[in-house]
Structure 1
């Protein structure tokens, strides 16, 4: 036996045989060789112990009593189950009635050895050593595959990190103008524009996979604060509920220096879990001068619930309500009702997605306080020329 095939303190053998005398002899011989042995008498008991504990080798009789108490060639069934439970397991199949059919079946199931009784100590030791070699080799292969997989995963994560770093290193913010009902420019929504060709949702997904959502938010906050002197009016800054719950992310950012101009636009409000904690954080932001907007009202019942829970200063209607509101009396009734409800709650309503004059006229008639959309102005970067053209 080579050193790699020698038993070590963890090398364990499960002996499955309904013949107590054979089991005792096998244990005596194998323990002399340094193996740790356990004995069970039937196939069902063996399945249970294989589910609960790992072994290196199983020495199993071909003919075993089943759950019905009848003796049958259950050793083959146990071998199938063992391969599913512990794929690297080495198996020695023993029988007092060797036959070609059972030997072929054992080989097809990748048994390490098929030997007949009575079994001399030397033959038992040789069969177990062969099974242990098989077990060790399978484990080496599995470990090597796991190492390769770990390396690939690590390389993939590093590649994703580089992609996210590239997207954030040159990230810029574009600003879409927001007007009041009289056409006066009152603010801009800050929209992330990554330095790479990735779309903003892809960058956010990548950051979420890497646990770096805060890095994205911090980068956007710095850009908005840097651009603020060149951008007119209020600044609508998109934030996730998780951003608001993160201690220091907002209140210690450069946005705090211009808090009176910043409206924190809460996106994905349906993902809010700890409403009580979020309300406490929003109260802190309001004391610092920030205002709060709720995005996508009308996108589902949860958004209506958030209206009552978050008490926003501004509410943005979901595009599904405004895109064709000029053509639908039903949508007009819904929008008018939401505007009245928000007004009662002290919140201004922004109609997003205005892409035609007809929609523009309709949302004004329905009472929307603020207006935003491509028909009024496209997102541009914070250069004086672009801002003038956009507005």
Structure 2
């Protein structure tokens, strides 16, 4: 119930609407470098939400008297100042303090009783930054902005009353009206939190095999989760996606990494372990702490297609120290999409894992063979090993060997299971 109330509060938070108003004001008026919503209380205007160059001015309070914002409210008209240094309608010192040389002030009125709500203001550090079209556009939007702000405040007030009912059906009703996905998101978060609290995430491993002689060279650690209901277990990708959507993704991944590292004690001393991680986990200081107790030369961090990389420079920096200690990097799902190829080009991995969809039916598909051959040739040029994933038939195995791929993984070579089962499968 508390979680549902929290997501309702988040969904009805008026500050979210205010933030969107200021952000969009910067987009709709290209010359603007700052935007603010000033709300009126008695004879004082307060910057309750700011964006861009006015970001630092959050909380600033101004008297309505002697300001262009106050004059716009009094005249019920959108006003434009071309130069705050020469325009007597503005508070010159206030404009200097926020770095505004030119500005547009749009009065906002309550849609029901026309009472003044405040002002939407856009600013620029340059004089004469705004055109007549800019002023007209903002003036036309004033009614919509006022309705949006007023509606958000009313919705938040009524939603808050629902909390006093202390009723799950009432809260669920409100949440589903706001957004049908909210309840599902709350359920997913609750499910992930339960796994984290109860420690019910398990880790199994699948063998990585030398395709020439069938010997075990390593294993991939794979997370397994408890069954949710009678419909059966959810796939691990869904669990991690739900966790990241709830802001718990890094925490859940680190739990999986911690459990995976313990598998090393049950593998042959010359076998390595690959562990799936996202870029945020690689950059997390907790990862180094977890790996500190393991032989770094037996650990391979596996970055997959499913994790977008927003900042490769930051990721390379985090990987540099980890790889310096001997831990290797693998790129998973290569061939499944553009992201994995970008990972390879920008991160220079030690191991490239060909996606299972590329290996499936490769013996009977010349296009798959050509793509795999190209990736193998590229890997050889950069000094990376290649692993073919998803091998399920002898024909697929024979074909990837002919292409020069020395390592493989798949149901044909061994299914995921505990280390004891892995040892018996090869």
Q: Does 1:165 align with 2:193?
A: yes
Within-5 A mapping of 1:1-391: 9=42, 52-55=107-110, 57-58=113-114, 86=146, 142-147=155-160, 159-168=187-196, 169-181=199-211, 182-196=213-227, 197-232=233-268, 233-246=271-284, 248-254=285-291, 256-268=293-305, 271-382=308-419, 384=420, 386-391=421-426
Contact 1:266 1:292 in 2 (8 A): yes
What secondary structure does 1:52 align onto?
Answer: strand
TM-score (norm 1): 0.63
Distance, in Å, in 1 between the alignment partners of 2:320 and 2:146 is: 56
What is the CA–CA distance in structure 1 between the aligned matches of 2:372 and 2:156, rounded to whole Å? 61
Give aligned pairs, total: 287
- 1:112 corresponds to: none
Deviation at 1:304, TM superposition (A): 2.9
Query: 1:165-203 CA distances to partner (integer Å, 9 max, x unpaired)?
Result: 333421111111110122111111111101243321221
Whole-angstrom CA distance in 1 between matches of 2:385 and 2:152 = 65
Q: Contact conserved, 2:300 with 2:327, CA < 8 A, in 1?
A: yes
Question: For the structure 1 residues 255 and 378, does the alpha-carbon distance in structure 2 shift closer, same or farther, using more than 3 Å as the test?
Answer: farther
SS of 1:380's equivalent? coil
Deviation at 1:242, TM superposition (A): 1.6
Report if aligned partners of 1:293, 1:312 keep a CA contact under 8 Å in 2: yes
1:172/1:88 CA distance change after superposition, 3 Å: closer
> Over residues 124-180 of structure 1, what are the superposed CA-to-partner deviations in whole Å (9 max), with x where a residue is unaligned?
xxxxxxxxxxx9xx9996444231578666998765443113334211111111101
Asked which structure has the greater CA Rg, the reply is 1
Give the aligned CA root-mean-square deviation in angstroms: 3.7
- 3-state secondary structure, aligned to 1:253: helix
Deviations 1:272-307 (A, max 9, x none): 232222222222111222111111222234433432
Instruction: Check conservation: 2:351, 2:384, Cα contact below 8 A.
Output: yes
In 2 relative to 1, CA 288–203 (structure 1 residues): closer, same or farther, beyond 3 Å?
Answer: same
What SS is found at the alignment partner of 2:322?
A: helix
Displacement of 1:387 after TM fit? 2.6
Distance 1:51 1:214, change over 3 A: same
CA contact (8 A) 2:305 2:337 kept: no
Q: Structure 1: how far apart are the matches of 2:113 and 2:329?
A: 65
Q: Deviations over 1:310-348 (max 9, x none)?
A: 111111012232111100223222212221220121111
- Alignment partners' CA distance in 2, 1:357 and 1:149: 62
